[in-house]
A and B are shown apart, each in its own frame.
Chain A
Amino acid sequence: MTRRVQITKGILWFITGLAAAVTIIRFTRGLGTTTALSDTTPWGLWVGFDVMGGVALAAGGFVIGAIAHVFKRDKYHHAVRPAILTALLGYAAVAVGLLFDLGLPWNIWHALIFWNPQSPLFEVAWCVMIYLTILFLEFLPVFLERTRFQALYRILLRMQLPLIILGISVSTLHQSSLGTLLLIMPFRLHPLWYTPHLPELFFVSAICLGLSMVIFESSVTAWLYKRKPNTDMLSGLARFAAGALALYLAFRLFDLWHHDKIGLAFEGSFEARLFWFEMGLSTIVPLVLFLIPKVRRSHTGVFIASSMGLMGFLLYRIDASGLAQVWATRTDYFPMWTEFAVSFGIVSFFALIYLFIQEHFPVEHEILDEEEKWRQRQLFVLPRFDRLTQVWLGDPTFASRRVYSLVFVVALVLGLTSTPWQPLVEASPVQRARGGDILKVGFPIGTVAFPHAEHVKRLGKEACGTCHHLHLPGDVGTPCSECHSDLYLPTRLFDHYRHVGLLGGNPSCERCHPQEGPRVGTTAKKCSSCHEKDMMAENQVVKTFEYLTAPGLSQAAHGICIECHKREATNPEWGKPDLFRCATCHRTPVSHGDVVLEASLEEIEDEVLQ
Chain B
Amino acid sequence: MIDNPCILNDVTRCIGCEECVAACKKINGMPVEDGPPRLGHSKDGLSATRWTSIFRRPDEVSVRKQCRHCFEPACVSVCPVGALIKTPEGPVIYDKAICMGCRYCMMGCPYGIPHYEWNSINPSVRKCILCYDKLKSGEIDKPACVNACPKEATTFGSQEEMLAEARRRLAAEPEKYIQHIWGEHEVGGTSVIYISHVDLGFLAWQDKKYLGTEPLPDRTWAALKKVPLEFLGMASFMTATWWVIDRRMRLAAEAPGEKVTEAPETTEDEGGER
* Residues of A near any B CB (own CB < 8 A): 27-33, 36-43, 63, 66, 69-73, 101-105, 107-108, 110-111, 114-123, 125, 161, 165-166, 168-170, 172-173, 176-177, 179-181, 183-188, 196, 198-200, 203-204, 207, 239-240, 242-244, 246-248, 251, 328-329, 331-333, 423-426, 428, 442-444, 446, 488-489, 552, 554-555, 558, 581-583, 586-587, 589-593, 595, 597, 600
Say whether B157 faces chain A, with CB atoms less than 8 Å apart. no
Say whether B102 faces chain A, with CB atoms less than 8 Å apart. yes
> Which residues of the other chain, B, contact A196 by a CB distance below 8 angstroms?
219, 222-223
- Given A184-B107, A589-B16, 5 other A-B residues pairs in contact with their CB atoms under 8 A: A38-B39, A39-B47, A43-B107, A118-B220, A184-B219
* Residues A111 and B234 in contact in the complex (CB < 8 Å), given A122-B80, A600-B60: no
CA distance in complex: A444, B122 (Å): 26
> Which residues of the other chain, A, contact B268 by a CB distance below 8 angstroms?
243-244, 247
CA distance in complex: A104, B101 (Å): 5
CA distance in complex: A64, B82 (Å): 36
Interface residues of B in 200-259 (CB under 8 A from A): 204-206, 209, 211, 216-217, 219-224, 227, 230-232, 234-235, 238-239, 241-242, 245-246, 249
A187–B204 CB distance below 8 A? yes
Q: Nearest-CB distance from A245 to chain B (Å)? A: 10
A104–B100 CB distance below 8 A? yes
CA distance in complex: A184, B269 (Å): 30
B40–A582 CB distance below 8 A? no
Contact check: which of B58, B118, B269 meets A32 at CB < 8 Å?
A: B118
* Residues A176 and B242 in contact in the complex (CB < 8 Å), given A104-B122, A121-B80, A595-B58: no
Residues of B in contact (CB 8 Å), total 99
B18–A183 CB distance below 8 A? no
Taken residue by residue from 77 to 102, chain B's Cβ proximity to chain A (1 for < 8 Å, 0 otherwise) reads as 11111110000000000000011111
Q: Nearest-CB distance from B199 to chain A (Å)? A: 14
Say whether B141 faces chain A, with CB atoms less than 8 Å apart. no
> Which residues of the other chain, B, contact A592 by a CB distance below 8 angstroms?
43-44, 55-58
Say whether B7 faces chain A, with CB atoms less than 8 Å apart. no
Contact check: which of A177, A239, A581 meets B224 at CB < 8 Å?
A: A177
> Which residues of the other chain, B, contact A239 by a CB distance below 8 angstroms?
265, 267
Q: Nearest-CB distance from A560 to chain B (Å)? A: 14
CA distance in complex: A217, B245 (Å): 29
Number of A-B contacts (CB under 8 A): 307
Contact check: which of B19, B115, B231 meets A170 at CB < 8 Å?
A: B231
Q: Which residue of B lies closest to A119 (CB)?
A: B80
Say whether B29 faces chain A, with CB atoms less than 8 Å apart. no
* Residues A187 and B205 in contact in the complex (CB < 8 Å), given A38-B38, A115-B82, A166-B235: yes
Q: Which residue of A lies closest to B126 (CB)?
A: A39
Contact check: which of A39, A70, A125, A204 meets B40 at CB < 8 Å?
A: A39
CA distance in complex: A40, B116 (Å): 10
CA distance in complex: A455, B132 (Å): 44
* Residues A442 and B37 in contact in the complex (CB < 8 Å), given A66-B270, A122-B80, A184-B108: yes
Q: Which residue of B lies closest to A117 (CB)?
A: B224
A243–B271 CB distance below 8 A? yes
* Residues A188 and B267 in contact in the complex (CB < 8 Å), given A176-B223, A428-B37: no
A591–B57 CB distance below 8 A? yes
B231–A169 CB distance below 8 A? yes
The 11 sampled A-B contact pairs (Cβ below 8 Å) are A30-B118, A33-B119, A38-B39, A40-B40, A118-B224, A176-B274, A186-B219, A187-B209, A329-B112, A555-B33, A581-B22
